[in-house]
Structure 1
Amino acid sequence: MKSDKRLDDERIGEEEGREISHAAAMPSLEISRSVPHHDSCRMATLKFKGPSPYQQKRPKPSDTDLEYAKFLKDFSLQFEGTTEPVPMALFGVGRIGTVHLSGLARNPRVELLYIVDEVCDKFDDIKRYWKLENTQFLSGKESDKVFKDPRVQAVLIATPTSTHQDLITRALAHGKYVFSEKPIAESKEGAINCYKQAKQAGKVLFSAFNRRFDPAFCNIKQRVRAGEVGHVHTIKACSRDVQLPSIEYLRTSSGAFHDTAVHDIDMICWMLGEYPIRVSAQGSAMAPEIAELGDYDTIFITLKFPSGTLGLIEISRHSSHGNDQRVEVFGPKGMLICANERPMSGIESHIGSEGANYIPTYYSFPSRYRHAYLAEKEHFLDIVQGKAKPAIMGHETLAVTKIATACEQSAKEGKFVDLTWGPEDLPPE
């Protein structure tokens, strides 16, 4: 009688034999142990081997790798035009003022001579944190010193909306270039007067819509204008922010349509190169505190353009999942999408059975649009130094205000609002 061990060995041998016979009957399967590792006939891709990469043409960086382009500029110490810094003054170091201060304080093209604000108790901390030993800090009552100082070439205004027009007119009266956060003034007439004064003074009044300087949105705009999707049928923008503004800010913000929706309105018109001829809007205030102000925190806007293109804008002041900023452009040739950006886009996790997880989107606008804020200031410095013409013209800013006002009217009155445009109003090509 055979031992149990011999019986097990024979069974294993028989099973292996059946597996080998089965594999041999299937020519598409190969048994690696029967083939020598160095058999050159098995090296199916060896014939594709080319010359050394040192003998080949090196790949070039993509135009979209802006960080590498900036490195190359820094590495080669490229100077474009004058190397003298622009003497400037900053008005306001609140939320948006801090965004601008972080760019100005670190920019070798800027000499920050003055900071003007009412938070005098923070001046010493600001000076130490940003190492602004040569910057003079003033209260609003002392601001005349800025305007009368002939060294100051330009001012950046990041104060509450109600102060913009006064600061702009005073700066222009003293021959300064002006970068102002929107809106330029609280009324259309006030804004028109500011631009007229700038023209008379021979200086540029620049109101930045920062999304025009966002690299991703610039890429979408260029491809739309190049005709990648053909004649645009629909364009959609979603703009939700996680960080609710303070009630104090909202009281002086000119309302959601002029404070928030203007960015999306401008971006869509900029991408398309036309202004809407009919708009409609609906708004709600989900937060009772915002309802008490007679304002909105949730908005839908539809726009019809003369070419037939339809636009849709969705806005929310409260997005618990993070900063939600997306654009979709659809046409007969295809679709372009700008999805949400993430701080560490290459990281994903697969833990247990919970599925794929990704790093959250950027928390709020200072981080999401960090590159845009830096780029718009670089553009303004180019304007001051005579190296560029303004990418945003005064009549474009006024057009966006006109559209936002019509949308606000539609939301309040519950009806479509038609818009007409003269040849002098139309956006540049």
Structure 2
Amino acid sequence: MQAHERSPYLDCAQVHHESDFKYERYCTLVGNVTPAAADDISSDDAIKVAHKNQIGMVLFGLGRAGMIHLSNLLANPRVSLLYVVEMERARYDSVRARWGDRTPALVLPQDSATALADPRVDAVVVATPTFTHFEVIQQALDAGKMVFSEKPIAENAEQSRLCYETAAKLGLTVFCAFNRRFDPAFQAIQQAARRGDVGKVHTIKTVARDSPLPPIAYLKISGGIFHDCAVHDIDLICWVLGEFPRRALASASAHIAEIAAIGDHDTVAIVLEFDSGTIGTIDISRNAVYGYDQRLEVFGPKGLLTAENERPVNVRHQTSSGDTAVPFYFSFPSRYSEGYVLELEAFLDHVQGKIPLPILPEDSLRVSKIASACEESLRTGAFVTIDYAQ
């Protein structure tokens, strides 16, 4: 007779590892995880809270980022997407052809006040070109709506600060969507670094190389490589470390004639110096032909943390000729798909009063100031000391 080992059913229930964020999300959906309560927010955070299971929302813009947000909004059970504000009818018609009766109503930009006046609307997502952000955000705040905005909040620091000040006066929120903070790999590195897993951080490095090469039409209105692209890496480094640099040095080139012709750059290197002694470096390119190259490294006396490039499938083919795999993710919609989903979840948690604002106004304003310091460094060829009090 076969002897049986001790039954695993007699042991405690198996628990998933904290790194399995997808299973964690499943547990939340089926009710095995209790979300943070509104009481967890201090009384100092006097924000308007939507005591609703479904948040009524308006999406401004159906461009590159807007289409990502559209899918996530329509798929989220906590969202009732009521309107899309878009000036190009062809884009809306394409959306309607895919989503059919689930497609929210189209509103032209000149009629957006009608959508904002709808009492069912609690919040807006701003995914229009950068030069429109300030006007759209101010309009939404004046209508009493919470705001989720693609970075940057506005074209300059003065307008950005005004948006945050207006929101604070009205008890509302402006959430600046630095989606890389919500990428699971980067979150794991941030938590490990803050725990001291590598000891005092000596160096922190990022690589961010675009794929595919962005269209010139987009680059013309992007705000330049420092404020459009480098801000992601600057924010990522500051968030991982929990501090902001005192000095910045930047070098840049334009190898692509069309980018040089519009006064922008396609290749950038940045050095950030921190009071703690940590040195940060950023390596940026607009054109990586081998895929969307996104890496993070944190080094200290106790070891090294790395987030390497990710691939659509983890399959390798090994033969006598060598070892092959599919390329890295092609571009940001696929590489940061989880980050886009999780940043929306965080915003909804905040709107429903479950968590404080995940990205503080001073974070966004300081990152913009650092990017401007990099631009100044490029002009002068020297380190620029950053005064955050100004």
Per the normalisation by structure 1, the TM-score is: 0.84
Partners of 2:276 and 2:15 in 1: CA distance: 39
Q: Which has the larger radius of gyration?
A: 1
Q: Which gives a bigger RCO, structure 1 or 2 (Cα 8 Å, sep 6+)?
A: 2
- Give the equivalent residue in structure 2 for 1:360: 327
Question: Does the CA contact (< 8 Å) of 2:62 and 2:92 recur in 1?
Answer: no
- Give the equivalent residue in structure 1 for 2:342: 375
1:349 aligned onto 2:349: no
Distance 1:226 1:148, change over 3 A: same
Deviations 1:274-296 (A, max 9, x none): 11111100011111110001101
- Give the equivalent residue in structure 1 for 2:25: 70
* Secondary structure, aligned partner of 2:207: strand
Distance 1:385 1:74, change over 3 A: closer
1:387 aligned onto 2:350: no
Shift of 1:312: 0.4
Shift of 1:334: 0.8
**Which residue of the other structure, out of 99, 110, 117, is the alignment partner of 2:68?**
99
* Secondary structure, aligned partner of 1:373: helix
Shift of 1:83: 5.8
* Secondary structure, aligned partner of 2:121: coil
The one-letter amino acid paired with 1:361 is F
Partners of 1:217 and 1:79 in 2: CA distance: 24
For 1:23-62, list aligned pairs within 5 A.
50-62=5-17
For 1:270-309, list aligned pairs within 5 A.
270-309=239-278
- Give the equivalent residue in structure 2 for 1:414: 381
What RMSD, in angstroms, separates the aligned Cα atoms of the two structures? Answer: 1.8
For 1:185-204, list aligned pairs within 5 A.
185-204=154-173
Shift of 1:336: 0.7
Shift of 1:131: 3.5
| Structure 2, gaps ≥5 residues long | 38-50
Shift of 1:76: 4.2
Partners of 2:29 and 2:147 in 1: CA distance: 28
Partners of 2:321 and 2:13 in 1: CA distance: 42
Shift of 1:206: 0.7
- Give the equivalent residue in structure 2 for 1:35: none
Partners of 1:399 and 1:304 in 2: CA distance: 15
Shift of 1:77: 7.8
The one-letter amino acid paired with 2:163 is C
Q: Percent identity?
A: 47
Shift of 1:360: 1.5
The one-letter amino acid paired with 2:199 is G
Partners of 1:271 and 1:51 in 2: CA distance: 44
Shift of 1:75: 3.7
- Give the equivalent residue in structure 1 for 2:296: 327
Question: Does the CA contact (< 8 Å) of 1:105 and 1:130 recur in 2?
Answer: no
Deviations 1:329-363 (A, max 9, x none): 11111111111111112x11013x32111222111
For 1:244-259, list aligned pairs within 5 A.
244-259=213-228
4+ residue runs over 4 A deviation: 76-83
Question: Does the CA contact (< 8 Å) of 1:90 and 1:115 recur in 2?
Answer: yes
- Give the equivalent residue in structure 2 for 1:111: 80
- Give the equivalent residue in structure 2 for 1:85: 54
Aligned residue pairs: how many?
A: 374
Shift of 1:134: 6.2
Question: Does the CA contact (< 8 Å) of 2:147 and 2:175 recur in 1?
Answer: yes
| Structure 1, gaps ≥5 residues long | 1-45
Partners of 2:129 and 2:377 in 1: CA distance: 26
Deviations 1:344-393 (A, max 9, x none): 12x11013x32111222111111111111011111111111111111111
Partners of 2:382 and 2:59 in 1: CA distance: 42
Task: Tell me whether 353-362 or 387-396 shows the greater mean CA deviation.
Answer: 353-362
Per the normalisation by structure 2, the TM-score is: 0.92
